[in-house]
Chain A
Amino acid sequence: MQISLDLITGVIAFVFTLMVFSYVLSDNPVFRAALHIFIGVSAGYAAAVTWHQVLVPRLVEPLINGSMVERGLLVIPVLLGLSLLFKVSQRAASLGSAAMAFLVGTGAAVAITGALTGTLFPQFMAAIGRFDMSRSSGLAAAEQLAYASVALLGTAVTLVYFQFGVRDKSETQTSGRRNTVIRILAYLGQIFVAITFGALFAGVFTAALTALIERTDFIINLFTGF
C-alpha cells in the first residue's frame, strides 16, 4: 500500500515537473495548465488548512463544547468575519470595512511592536556589539575596530541613500535636489546596497541551482527506478 502511494505521488510529481520544465522551450499551454492547476490546488489546500487549524479549534469546538462566556466572546469575531463576505460583492463591499479596519488596526500595532523589538533594537545592539573588544572574534583589536567602523559607516550611508526627503523648492530657492554631501553619502550607500544585493543574488542563485539539481536528480531516479 505504502509503495503504491509513493508510486502514485511520484508519477504525478514527475508529470508536473515536466509540465513546468516545458517553460524552458517557451511559454506554452502545458506550462500554463500546470500553473493553473497548481494555483487551484494550493488555494484549496490553504482553505482546508485554514478550516482545520483555525476555524475548527477556535470557532467550531468552542461553539459546541465551550461555556456561555466563551460562546458570547465569539459573537464579535464571527460577525466581523461574516461581514467580510460582503467584500466579494462590489456594491456591498463597504459593509466589510469594519472587519478590514479591525484587521488593519491589529496588524499595524503588531507590526509596530515587531519592528521595534524584532528589528530595530536587535540591529542597533548588533551594530554597537561589533565595537565590543571583549568579544572574541579571532581578529586583532585594530582590525576588529576597522571592520566595525566600516560596517557602521555602511549601515549609515545605506540609510542616507533611502532618505528621499528634500526641502520645499520655494523655501530654499534651489531645484529641490538633495545637497551635495547627502548625494555623495547616498552614492556610497548605493555601493553598499549593490554589494548586499550581490550577496543576496548569490544566495538565491545557489538555492535555485540546488533546486534544479534536485529536480534533475528526481527525474533521473524515477527513470532508473523503473
Chain B
Amino acid sequence: MKLRGVFSTAIAISTGVFVLLGALIPTDILVDFRILLLQWAVLVAGFAVLVGIINLLVVHLAKIRAKSGSGYSLLLALSLLASLVIAIFSTPQGTGSRILFDGIIQPVEATLMALMSISLLYASMRLLRHRAGLLSIVFIATAIILLLGAAPLPFGEVGILHYIISPFIEQVPAAAGARGILIGVALGTLTTGLRVLFGADRPFGGK
C-alpha cells in the first residue's frame, strides 16, 4: 500500500472510531468531538455536492466540444447555469426559485411518476408471460388483492377482501418479509461499516 493510501485509511479509521465512540460512550469530550467531526463532514459533503455538479458540467462541456450529443448537452449546461444564477440570487425560497421548482422540477418528477404507472402495469404483464413460476404468481396475486382491497370498487366493497384478507397480508406475511429485508439490510450496513473501520474495505481509493 502506498504512503498516501495508508494516510487515507488512517483518516477513515480514526474519524470513524471517534464518531462511533461519541455515539456509544456519551462523555462530554467524546460527544463534543463527535459533533465537531459531523459538522466538518456536513461542510465537506457540501463541497462534494458542488464538485459533483462541476464534474457534471465539465463532462457535458467536453461533449459539446466533441460534438457528440452536443444539443442535449448544451441544453443541460445552459439550464444548469441559468438555474444556478437564478436560485443563488433569488435564494431557494425566492420567486425565481419558485418558478424553477413549481414550473420544471415538480411537474417533471410528477409526470415521470405518472409514466411509471404505465411501465409498472406493462412490466407486471410481461412478468407473467415470461417468468410464470409460483413466486411470480404469489407476487402478482398479492398486488392484485391489496389493490382491490384498497380501491373504491364500482360495485361496492368486498367485505372479506377489505376487512380480513388485505389487513392479514399487510400485517402478517408482508410485514414479516419487510422486517426480514430491513434486518438484512441493517446487518449488511453494519458489516460494511465495520469493514471500513477495520481497514478491510477502502472505497476512497486507498489501495
Contacts and interface: CB of A to CB of B under 8 A. Distances in A.
A210 to B, nearest CB: 9
B10 to A, nearest CB: 8
Given A105-B196, A195-B138, A158 B177 contact: yes
B102 A9 contact: yes
Nearest to B106: A13
A33 B104 CA distance: 12
Interface in B184-201: 184-187, 189-190, 192-194, 196-197
A108 B16 contact: yes
A89 B163 CA distance: 60
A212 B117 contact: yes
Interface residues of A, number: 120
A109 B193 contact: yes
Contacts of B47: 55, 80-82, 84, 99
Contacts of B120: 201, 204-205, 208
A15 B135 CA distance: 42
Interface in B120-134: 120-121, 124, 134
A133 interface: no
Given A41-B100, A101-B12, A190-B135, A112 B84 contact: no
A97 B177 contact: no
A58 B56 CA distance: 25
Interface SS of A by simple majority: helix
A193 B177 contact: yes
B162 to A, nearest CB: 14
A129 to B, nearest CB: 12
Contacts of B194: 108, 112
Interface residues on B, range: 35 or more
B160 interface: no
A186 B158 CA distance: 34
B84 A47 contact: yes
Interface in A96-143: 97-116, 118-120, 123-124, 126-127
Contact of A196 (B17, B18, B95, B177): B177
Contacts of A76: 40
B193 A194 contact: no
A74 to B, nearest CB: 8
A109 to B, nearest CB: 4
Given A206-B150, A211-B117, 7 more contacts: A36-B73, A109-B23, A116-B190, A194-B138, A198-B141, A206-B147, A211-B111
18 contacts: A38-B104, A39-B76, A48-B83, A48-B88, A51-B88, A59-B43, A84-B48, A97-B5, A98-B11, A109-B15, A154-B176, A190-B135, A192-B173, A195-B138, A195-B142, A195-B174, A211-B114, A216-B114
Interface of B: 4-5, 7-9, 11-20, 23-24, 36-51, 53-56, 58, 71-73, 75-88, 91-92, 95, 97-108, 110-118, 120-121, 124, 134-136, 138-143, 146-147, 150, 169-187, 189-190, 192-194, 196-197, 202-206
Interface of A: 5, 8-10, 12-14, 16-17, 20-21, 23-24, 32-55, 58-59, 73-74, 76-78, 80-82, 84-85, 87-88, 93-94, 97-116, 118-120, 123-124, 126-127, 147, 150-159, 161-162, 189-209, 211-212, 214-216, 218
Q: Which 10 residue pairs across A and B have the least CB separation, nearest first?
A: A158-B180, A154-B176, A198-B142, A81-B47, A196-B177, A48-B87, A44-B83, A40-B79, A12-B103, A105-B12
